Amino acid sequence: MRDPALSSGAGRVLVAVYAVFAVAATGRSVLQLATEPGRAPLAYSLSLLAAVLYVLATTCLVVGGARAWRVAVVACSVEAAGVVAVGALSLVATDLFPDRTVWSHFGQGYGFLPLVLPFVGLWWLHRTRPGAHPGR
């Protein structure tokens, strides 16, 4: 059952941003892994993980329901931990990140949106959790 909160306003914008990141991160990581797999395998693989999480979060936000909500919370939580960990690692182990990826330098190449997005997603999920607003 689709969540009516996603049909307009902030929910629609959140889904759109996640969808754009899903496409962008998937395309970039697949291209990097396909053309130069040995250049930065860890960085490119982590970028692919980010892409998978973006696709998963987008799908769960659109599908709605209790199970999708729980999966989205896990996806956004892993995403938040990933962008913080990879962001920090990319600053101290620069040799592992010779090219920018979606999470390197805390998403600097993407206007720091990868750093903000999972926390906005978690906030939105908290706000729209199943059973939180019985009148909906």
Instruction: Report the largest interatomic distance among the alpha carbons of the chain, rounded to a whole angstrom.
Output: 54
Q: What is the pLDDT of residue 9?
A: 79
Per-residue model confidence as pLDDT tens digits over 60-97: 999 988 999 999 999 999 999 999 999 999 999 999 99
Q: What is the pLDDT of residue 93?
A: 95
For residue 2, name the pLDDT band (cuts at 50, 70, 90). Answer: low
Q: How far apart are CA 92 and CA 44, in angstroms?
A: 17
Measured CA distances, 10 to 44, 109, 110 (Å): 31, 24, 20
Contact 1, 69 (CB under 8 A): no
With a threshold of 0.75, does the pTM exceed it?
Answer: yes
Residue 6 has pLDDT above 70, yes or no: no
**Phi/psi at 32 (5° precision):** -65, -45
Q: Which of 22-31, 112-121, 124-133 has the lowest mean pLDDT?
A: 124-133
Q: What is the pLDDT of residue 4?
A: 58
DSSP, residue by residue, 43-75: HHHHHHHHHHHHHHHHHHHHH-SHHHHHHHHHH
For residue 45, name the pLDDT band (cuts at 50, 70, 90). Answer: very high
Q: What is the pLDDT of residue 99?
A: 87
Q: How far apart are CA 8 and CA 123, in angstroms?
A: 17
Structure tokens at 67: 């199970």
Contact 106, 115 (CB under 8 A): yes
Contact 82, 54 (CB under 8 A): no
